[in-house]
Structure formats: structure tokens, C-alpha cells
Amino acid sequence: MNTKHLIHPEDFTVQELNQLIQIAQNILEDPQDYKNICKDKILATLFYEPSTRTRLSFESAMLRLGGNVLGFSDASTSSVSKGESIVDTIQVISSYADLAAIRHPKEGAPKLASKYSKIPIINAGDGGHEHPTQTLTDLFTIYMKKGNIKDQKIAFCGDLKFGRTVHSLIRTLCRYNIKEFILISPDELTLPYELKNKLIEEYDVKLQEVSTMEEVIGEIDILYMTRIQKERFFNEADYERLKNSYILDSSKIKLAKDDMIIMHPLPRVNEISYEVDKDPRAIYFEQASFGVYIRMALILKLLGVDCTCLK
């Protein structure tokens, strides 16, 4: 049997994504039913670059399912510092764990690992390329807060060039038949040309590009904020110039609909003022909590655990 991996969101059909969302909702409603379902299973978290939320979210997910976790959170404390390739590492880890979540600064590293792995690989973020479990988290959040995924008017704001969460999510939302997106970014950080072309050619979507939040905030259902990522810039001067491009504060929120939701993959730097946190439309911390449940559902799916009898 072929081992199933999650490298790109496209590795799962819309039907499978909906199935994951359903399982995550079931877990959220009755977590007790799932607390020992992964007893004796081990998740390896191989984090070659720093991460707080994603790694802890994976670990929390596995522990809440009754499983165990091993791994490293810094490449300098692993064999990588001795020059070991990811291909060798994954072949060894395949006999230590039942599935592995990999974060790596090099783009395509989890895919390479999946070619040599005997266990399911989850891409937990590879450079500026993909972050599919954030996409799952975002989908689950939209579903939980809005009741459906397809009828939403969504604006993405901030770093749309290097923001991998935006790339993954926007492609996935196209598969849910959303036909229009609003893109708010400085000229230097617009959505990559290739991706724009792909979205237009493959999905016939309309992309409205604007340069200020105020122009569109009153008409959208979801505002997806992103941080300007320092680690993606080769040149610090460029980062300093762009980091304050878009800041969401209470004066801008006053222009928004009452039921608009503000999402953010976190961590935040300064793009959302702290005063916004108190607004009921600010759901980014709840979004992070949803990430645990959807990762629990993903772990169950990749391990082939049958939980249909539970609900």
C-alpha cells in the first residue's frame, strides 16, 4: 500500500478535506472519545528551523490522542549539524516513529523526505513554499466561524509574496469554487506572478489588487492578515522599509462589517494592534486552537485510524 503524505494541500481532495474538517469538529465536540485512540503510536517532530505554534500544536495534537512524541526543535541539536542529509535522517526515523512532521528552511525538503520514507510525512512548513497544515487550520476556522467555506469574500493583507500560508490557502479556496479574492499588499510584496497566472488560468478567478485596507474592508467577510517575514528577506534594509506597510487598528475595524472575522496565522509582530484583540471579530487565537483539532484529525487520517464508529 502506498503511504499517504501531506506535502501540498492538493494531496487531499476537497472531499478528503471536508472529511478532515468533520473529524476535527467531532473531536472538538467530544475530545474524551479520542483521548486514547493513538495509544502506542509515535509522532516524530523534525523541526530544522524554529517554530513555536506549529510544533507545539502537533505535539499537543498527538498527546491529546494518547500517543507519544519525539524529535528535535533545532537543527543544531540534531545530526544535521554533522552534515547528515534529510534523506538519511528520514530513513532512520522511519523505524523510530509512525509518522513525522517536518519543518525545514529549504523548499521541497519534506517532499524529498517523503520519497525515501516508509512512514507518512507531514509538511509542517518548507521555507516560503507551503504550509499545508496551516491551510487545514484556516479552512477549519472558516468553517467553524462562518458555517461554510465557499460563500465568503476574502481579502489577504500584508506579505503576499513570501507568505506561504496565503499561497496554500488561496489555491485551496479556489478548489472550493471561490471566484474572487482581494489582495492588499505593497508593490514589492504582491502575490507571485506565476501563482496569479495559475489561479486565473486554472480556476478563472478574479483577483482585485488594492493598496489600502480602507478601500475594501467594509465589503469583506474575512480579513486574512499576514506578517512581513524578516527571515524571508536577504536584505535587512528592504525588510525595515516594508515592515510597517499595513497595520490593522481599531479605527480601520470600525469600517468593517459586524460579522467580518480577522484571521492571522501568527506569530504577529505589529501588523495587528493589541487594541484589536478585544474585538469579537479578532479570532486569531481561537484559530490557533482550532489548529490542534485539525492536526488531530490529520494524524488519525494518515495513520489510517478508523474513527467512524465514534460518531
Partner 1 sequence: MLEVTQIQNGIVLDHISPGNGLKIFNKLMPTQTDNPVVLLMNVYSDYMSKKDIIKLENVENINLEFLGLIDEHISINIIKNGEVIHKERVTIPKQVKGILTCHNPRCITHSEPLSNPTFELVCKKTLSYQCEYCETITKYTL
Nearer residue to partner 1 within complex by CB, 194 or 258: 194
Catalytic residue among 103, 167, 171, 227: 103
**Which residue in the set 16, 74, 92, 106 belongs to the binding site for partner 1 (CB under 8 A)?**
106
Region of 111-119, 142-150, 218-226, 242-250 interacting with partner 1 (CB under 8 A):
111-119
> CB of residue 120 vs partner 1: minimum separation in angstroms?
18
Q: What residues contact 164, with CB distance under 8 A and at least 6 apart?
A: 125, 126, 127, 128, 129, 130, 131, 134
Binding mask 113-132 for partner 1 (x = CB under 8 A): ---x---------xxxx---
- Is 123 within 8 Å of 110 (Cβ atoms)? yes
Angstrom distance (rounded) from CA 160 to CA 188: 9
CB-nearer residue toward partner 1: 94 or 287? 94
- Measured CA to CA in angstroms, residue 97 lies from 34, 58, 61, 70, 236 at distances of 20, 14, 15, 8, 39
Looking at the Cβ atoms of 20 and 189, the one nearer to partner 1 is 189
Copy the grid coordinates of residue 82.
554533522
Name residues contacting partner 1, limited to 62-101 (CB under 8 A): 85-87
The one-letter amino acid at 302: L
Is 103 part of the annotated catalytic residue set?
yes
- Pick one of 35, 53, 111, 175: the residue that binds partner 1 (CB under 8 A): 111
131 included as an active-site residue: yes
Q: Is 105 in the site for partner 1 (CB under 8 A)?
A: yes
Question: Is 106 one of the catalytic residues?
Answer: no
153 annotated active-site: no
* CB of residue 5 to partner 1, shortest distance in Å: 14
Tell the smallest beta-carbon distance from residue 105 to partner 1 (Å): 7
The number of angstroms, rounded, from the C-alpha of 3 to the middle of its chain's C-alpha atoms is 22
- Of the candidates 231, 240, 239, 286, which has an alpha carbon nearest to the alpha carbon of residue 263? 286
189: which residues sit within 8 A by CB, 6+ positions away?
A: 158, 159, 160, 161, 162, 228, 242, 245
How far apart, in whole angstroms, are the C-alpha atoms of residue 181 and residue 197?
Answer: 14
Sequence length of the chain is: 311
Chain residues 145-204 in contact with partner 1, contact rule CB under 8 A: 194
Rounded to the nearest whole angstrom, what is the least distance from the CB of residue 119 to partner 1 in the complex?
Answer: 18
Q: How far is the CB of 108 from partner 1 (least distance, A)?
A: 3
Interface contacts to partner 1, rule CB under 8 A: 85-87, 104-109, 111-112, 116, 126-129, 194
